[in-house]
Amino acid sequence: MVDQTSQFYAILTNVGAAKQANADALGIAWKITQMGVGDANGTDPTPNATQTSLINEWRRAPLNQLKVDDNNNAIIIAEQVIPADVGGKWIREIALYDADGDMVAVANCAPTYKPLLSQGSGRTQVVRMNLVVSSASNVQLKIDPAVVLATREWVTEELARQDFKHSVLAATTANIPLNGLQTVDGVALTAGARVLVKNQTIGKDNGLYLVVAGGPWARCSDADTSAKVTPGMLVLVERGALNGNSAWQLLTDAPITLGVTALAYEMAFGRSGVAAGTYRSVSVDAYGRVTAATSPSTVVGYGLTDVYTKTQVDTAVAVKAPLASPTFTGVPAAPTAATGTDTTQLANTSFVHAAITAAGPVFNNSDDVTDWNAVIASGWNPKILGRNNANSPGQEVSYWYCLVLSYGGGSITQVAFPYGAGTLNGGIKTRSRYQGTWNDWVTPYTNTNVASVIKSLMAATTSAAALAAIGAAPVVSPVFTGVAAAPTSDQFDSTTKIATTEFVQRAIGGYQNGYAYTTAGQTITASRVNCLINLNTAASNITLPLLSSVPIGSKVYIRASNTATIKAQGTDVIYVNTAKTTESWVEVGRNSNITLISAGAIWFIAGNASLTHDTSLFGVLKGSNGYQKLPSGLILQWCNGQIAAAQGSARITLPETYTTSLVAYSLGTANAGHWVTGQNASTSGIDVIARTVSGGSIIVPSGIVGYTSIFIGY
């Protein structure tokens, strides 16, 4: 007999529990399609997990609705509508069937009689079952639209989900207390009035409210759940000094959790406060509305900062010279006219000096000059420096005269003539400056030495003697004396050019050049091949040059002060060992030396470098929460923890996020009479859910529940 002590509940059958577990483990869809009702042959049934059918089923039909509970995503709500012309029986037991026809859930209910229309009491009966599952993510929430009937509750809910809401009486202009009767935007509110609250200090409190006299305001029924408060929601405001006859739109993006997410409203259209009229300057908002307008009459009023004011222009004009007969003061200057100009253009001092210089010799005063490098003005210097002054032509005579020829671009030629007794025998010396650099002084051939060279050439009977007469070496098999030098060829040159000692040392890796890298992320250039590369503590990684940029046999010598990663570029690879063939990078230990040799398409490691690259494949974190990495790429992880009292769930965050997939997991608890399940699994963690049974109902445990977990993924 049903009385106040009776318990009504729904459970998964053994078949249903097995299918739920299979769907969760394999990630496949589980389709619940039909609901059956029965009268249990007049008894008061108790749901039993071993049931495969109802005691006395008198109706089975497709579901009208199947959804996840808005307030608990672990509860599935199944609904069937029994038409008015079906009935004449009692309803005491309810069952759910899946697409395979298996009964997967069973429930009892308070006895309810479903009359027939012919009995004079025709009503449509809605039967619902709330079923707790371990995870609703794999339950396919689809129904046959051909059998769906719209209940009044469903229609009301759907209307409430629409973006366009019922209008409100007024909208707030500032933060207000959300209780009792008050005046908003000049409108005296009465009980039951709808108000748009949009200016609260705490944004989550914004929304649509109903005024309650003497108590806290309640959210309007068409905007009291997260599903009804949607981005772009629009509401009209009826009255108000500032906001009357305007429309406001919700700008907050999804996802929105009502009471948690801050809600931001903005006027979509309405009065901006600017009176009708013609204005010279206006401010326009993002919707193209004029929000402010003025008619300035000055530059300052327009806010212009890159134009002169009338006062500034008048002041500037007052100090300018007139075009006709101007009188200049101070040090007037003008552009230098081109050489040879013969017009009415102004001639400055530079033009005049150049014209005079071109007209004839210029005699410069060099009495105070102490350095020959300072004698750069074109002309003849009749009094010149002694032989001991800086950069002089030499010690052959006591004093020198100098002729200076200055060309465009700063190029200069100096010709020095001897003055007084000396050993030069009337000879001269010359030198030039090009691009800011002075060449050495040279002595042109004199009559005496030219005659001597000609005499030696005439006496020569062989080409070798002729070359010796002019101090030259033969082209074939020359023998140099002294310290012979030649230009150093480009790195990696393999032609018949002369190889200098610098080229040879660089080619064989003589370590004559060393380079220190002090920051991470740098790339070794081809010019530093065969040189010593030092990585300091901060240089935690470095990239090798492209193999295509260096010849075969090139070596890179690296010394690492700390653990460092050495990377290959592009598709280049590094040969590590016979077990691991090739890698795109290797890792060396602290104070390690490594030599890499180019083999054309691969970098070979020479010697016994201290590599830590392979050992990283077996990384481990030991502790109550940890992991073990395997060479195959699989990672085993474990986590232990507690779910706080009366909370019912907690989030497990994995110590190591899987890069591709969480393949499988297992959850358990040592708390007697409790069980734990998982949901919302991802590569970074999972929600662990704890439940127990009390008084025949599945409830959230009141105490702390400990859990253990194991995960497999890659």
pLDDT in tens, 277-324: 888 888 887 777 787 888 887 777 777 777 777 777 778 777 777 778
Residue reference for tokens 């010796």: 468
Cα atoms found within 13 Å of the Cα of residue 681, Cβ hemisphere only: 25
Q: Per-residue confidence at 74, pLDDT binned at 50, 70, 90? A: confident
135 pLDDT higher than 50: yes
Q: Per-residue pLDDT averaged across 177-184, rounded?
A: 96
Distance CA 291, CA 273 (A): 7
CA 286 to chain centre: 28
138-152, 482-496, 501-515, 685-699 — most confident range: 685-699
Q: Which of 148, 135, 177, 139 is nearest to 63 (CA)?
A: 148
Q: Give the pLDDT confidence score for residue 377 in this predicted structure.
A: 82
**How does pLDDT run across 360-417, given as a tens digit for each residue?**
445 555 556 778 888 888 777 766 667 778 888 887 777 777 888 887 778 888 888 7
Residue 472: Cβ within 10 Å count = 11
Q: Give the pLDDT confidence score for residue 614 in this predicted structure.
A: 47
465-474, 475-484, 515-524, 654-663 — most confident range: 654-663
Contact 504, 528 (CB under 8 A): no
In this predicted model, which residue has the larger pLDDT, 216 or 156? 216
Distance CA 190, CA 212 (A): 8
Report strand pairing: 685-694 vs 697-699.
Answer: antiparallel
- Return the percentage of the chain with pLDDT > 70, whole number: 80
Q: Give the pLDDT confidence score for residue 147 in this predicted structure.
A: 47
**How does pLDDT run across 563-593, given as a tens digit for each residue?**
888 999 999 998 876 545 678 888 887 788 8
Distance CA 421, CA 572 (A): 74
Q: Per-residue pLDDT averaged across 201-212, rounded?
A: 96
Q: Per-residue pLDDT averaged across 77-92, rounded?
A: 90
Q: Per-residue pLDDT averaged across 538-566, rounded?
A: 87
Contact 442, 428 (CB under 8 A): no
Residue 155: Cβ within 10 Å count = 10
**How does pLDDT run across 698-709, given as a tens digit for each residue?**
999 999 999 999
- What lies within 8 Å, CB to CB, of 112 at 6+ separation is 90, 91, 92, 125
Q: Per-residue pLDDT averaged across 527-535, rounded?
A: 84
**How does pLDDT run across 583-642, given as a tens digit for each residue?**
888 888 778 888 889 988 899 887 655 565 544 455 678 889 999 887 677 999 999 999
Q: Give the pLDDT confidence score for residue 538 in this predicted structure.
A: 82
Q: In degrees rounded to 5, what are phi and psi of residue 63?
A: -75, 145
| Domains of the chain with bracketed CATH | 10-149 (no CATH), 160-269 (no CATH), 359-445 (no CATH), 506-616 (2.60.120), 619-713 (2.60.40.3940)
112 pLDDT higher than 50: yes
Q: Considering the entire predicted model, what is its pTM?
A: 0.30
3-state secondary structure (DSSP) of residue 26: helix
Q: Give the pLDDT confidence score for residue 672 in this predicted structure.
A: 92
Mean pLDDT of the chain: 82
Q: Give the pLDDT confidence score for residue 399 in this predicted structure.
A: 77
